[in-house]
Chain A
Amino acid sequence: MTVEFKIALAGNPNSGKTTLFNALTGSRQHVGNYPGVTVEKKEGIYRLEDKKINIVDLPGTYSLTAYSEEEVVARDFLIFEKPQVIVNIVDAANLERNLYLTTQFFELGIPVVIALNMIDAARDRGIEIKEDRLAEYLGVPVVPIIARSGYGTQKLMEETVRQAAQKKEWRPKPISYGEDIDSTLLDLEEKIIRGNFLTDTYPGRWVAIKYLENDQQIMDRGRKENAALSAELEKEVEAVSRHLLETMETYPEAMVADHRYGYIKGILQKGVISHKYDKDRLYTSDRIDKVLTNRFLGPLFMGLVLFGLYTFTFNYSELPVAWLEILFDHLAQLADSMLPDGQLKSLIVSGIIDGVGGVLGFVPLIMFMFFGIAILEDSGYLARVAFMLDRIFRIFGLNGSSVMAYILSGGIAGGCAVPGVMATRTLRSPKERMATLLTAPFMNCGAKLPVLALFIGAFFSENKAQYMFFFTILSWLVALMLAKLLRVTVLKGESTPFVLELPPYRFPTLKGLFIHTWEKTWQYIKKAGTVILGISIIIWAMMTYPGLPGSEKEKFAMQRQEVEAAHPAMIVAGSNMAISGAEAAERDRLLAAIDRAEANSTLRYSVAGRVGTALERVSFLAGFDWRTNIALIGGVAAKEVILSTLGTAYSLGSGNQEESGSLAKTLAADPAWNPIKGLSVLLFISYYAPCFVTVICISREAGSWKWGAFSMIFNTLFAFLLATLVFQIGSLLC
């Protein structure tokens, strides 16, 4: 019989926690979300002989306060799921700071096993740690490991299982926080235990500490449980706060923190740690930083790296994207030839294969992007980018980490908002992250480019490149301005403190890179793939139903017959008399014209056509006619659709992008169009509702469909306002 264990893996960011988790569980991982929040929950299994160990990878945190979602998730998991043991990974080269989190596990009393990681890197820095002494003074097992190579990991799990099998009670360790706090603590704890206040869930002393720390989550729970007692505790805390402020100019929470560090220092000074070299010696990493964050060389190098990432993602994924396109074309052809003509065929070819194919076509792009970001993140460079750019982005209510999302979304024209929105995961502060992911779609993604190119070509032809550059810069301005607008309205709030660790540069491990890339890509395939299938079917139906009434269809059939009668096909069985080339071409041309006219009428008659016509009542303000409206509605499914729909609507057959030259000519020649209308449409397309895949990603990343809906409405309103302004003012002036 297999024995099962449940353990949690916890540690600071950059302590090698993810590397250890990957080393332990390999591909036996499951990635989900904690209920109600966007924090990722990773679970995996490690097998030791006949034992099955379920490992939950807690989010990397420095502390267990109630300030960030990650920290709340981590401590709620510990308290409500009660893992048997917590494996606390600490960076040996950074012991003093890493043990701060450990002291908070001690306060909870949960059994801890310490994984002393990167002892090799610490040794290189001349740091020697006596793990047996450390274990003795801390009172918990300490196992030295090197997560990257797997050294010590089996021993670590053996020790963990041994601890788990003992089924220890949770025993909070009494750490002293200084006289004033200690006496208050005793008092509070007594009241808490006597009142049986939250003690079914939390240790009494821990609740007392949280009250002293002014922890909002626990205090809210306390007020609900027993408002009177909670008020009494709060009053007592207030008294000691006032006393501390008067006598020592400090806060209870500061005292608690100082003494936690004091406790750690006290232990480390008892011969646990020795430094061979001068503490101020510059490490390799610091020397690299002298160049890479240098005032002049730093930004230059950063530009090259970001441009490199961009090139890597979009150029190298071109080939696999093309392969996928060919694959889906073949599938469509196969379905085309195997199925009888009719609604089912149209649904499968135009609805499902085109729609799902459009989404899966992004997969190579997503994989390359995540691979590139994983390299930047795992190597430690991403933190430097945030460091260097923070000052600029802060002006707009964002922070330095926002730049990556903007660039991937098309900040250097030609990106894609989907990876851009997903890249906001590297932002730690929730409001800045929301503002970034809501504004990233304003960038000119690769799908908007051909549309922009078409309109520029049609109406401002001469300097395409200059206009493109201008519209790229404009996108940055719009995105940053609107980010600022969001940050002073719906996402109002102080900027989150930006205390960021710049981890030492490291070579990423291939295994880690592949696991990161794959798990994120798979999430994308699973979620976006299922939702987009439904949406493609809806869009297809809107542009197909209701079909033309019989009488209309007959009219087109009759026209066809007339043409066929006037230009008889002379390929009669047995006869090798061929019609002349010119005549055949004329016949084909006429027939194709009828097909297009029928397609046009069908479109106008469909739901989408009717909606487009109905919208004219509003859209005339910005100069859009019903055909443009349909194209714009189609563009919500995917921006690529704008060109093909416009093409269909303007009777240009399939409206392939290759043929946009002729569409451009038609628009330029059409008296209903002029440069002002062109500019108005162009601006609208640049900034209106993101495509569905992006909306789905926004909803997923923001944790609610409301934000997806918000981005569609907000962006469309903004774009319409801008387009209307340009159109009206432009029309007045000209």
Chain B
Amino acid sequence: MSRMMLRQMRRNQKGVITAVKQGGELGRRIRDMGLVPGTEITVQGRAPLYDPVALRVMGSVLSLRNNEADFIEVEVQP
């Protein structure tokens, strides 16, 4: 088990969110979409220019810009 930021995750890699290190509007929007500590996520893929990233979260797919993914800390399986 190791911790990393969401941006560093590889395609199809799974992990559990440990922290969302951002307040304000961005933090709120991230949380509103279900990205809170304890949520399991899988990196589903990336857009043709590697940004944004598509995540599988509780049965739905969300897209997030890399600079937004920078605030999300994830514990990943090796």
Contacts and interface: CB of A to CB of B under 8 A. Distances in A.
B20 interface: yes
A286 B44 contact: yes
Given A62-B32, A261-B34, A499 B45 contact: no
Given A251-B23, A293-B47, A391 B52 contact: yes
Given A63-B32, A254-B31, A497-B68, A293 B54 contact: yes
B33 A62 contact: yes
Interface residues of A, number: 47
Given A251-B27, A261-B36, A96 B64 contact: no
Interface residues of B, number: 42
Contacts of B25: 67, 497
A90 to B, nearest CB: 12
Contact of A125 (B27, B36, B47, B59): B59
A257 B58 CA distance: 16
Nearest to A62: B32
Interface in B22-78: 23, 25-40, 42, 44-45, 47-52, 54, 56-65, 68
A257 B52 contact: no
A547 interface: no
B4 to A, nearest CB: 17
Contact of A387 (B30, B37, B47): B47
Nearest to B28: A65
Contacts of A96: 34, 58
A253 B47 CA distance: 31
A125 B59 CA distance: 9
Contacts of B64: 498-500
Contacts of A46: none
Contact of A257 (B14, B31, B45): B31
Interface in A632-651: none
Contacts, number: 132
A318 interface: no
Given A253-B28, A257-B32, A293-B45, 20 more contacts: A62-B33, A63-B28, A93-B60, A97-B57, A127-B59, A251-B27, A254-B23, A254-B31, A254-B36, A257-B36, A261-B38, A279-B40, A285-B61, A290-B45, A383-B63, A498-B52, A499-B68, A501-B33, A502-B54, A502-B62
Interface of B: 14, 19-21, 23, 25-40, 42, 44-45, 47-52, 54, 56-65, 68
Interface of A: 62-63, 65, 67, 93-94, 96-97, 100, 125, 127, 214, 249-251, 253-254, 257-258, 261, 265, 279-280, 285-286, 289-290, 293, 295-296, 298-299, 383, 387-388, 390-392, 394, 497-504
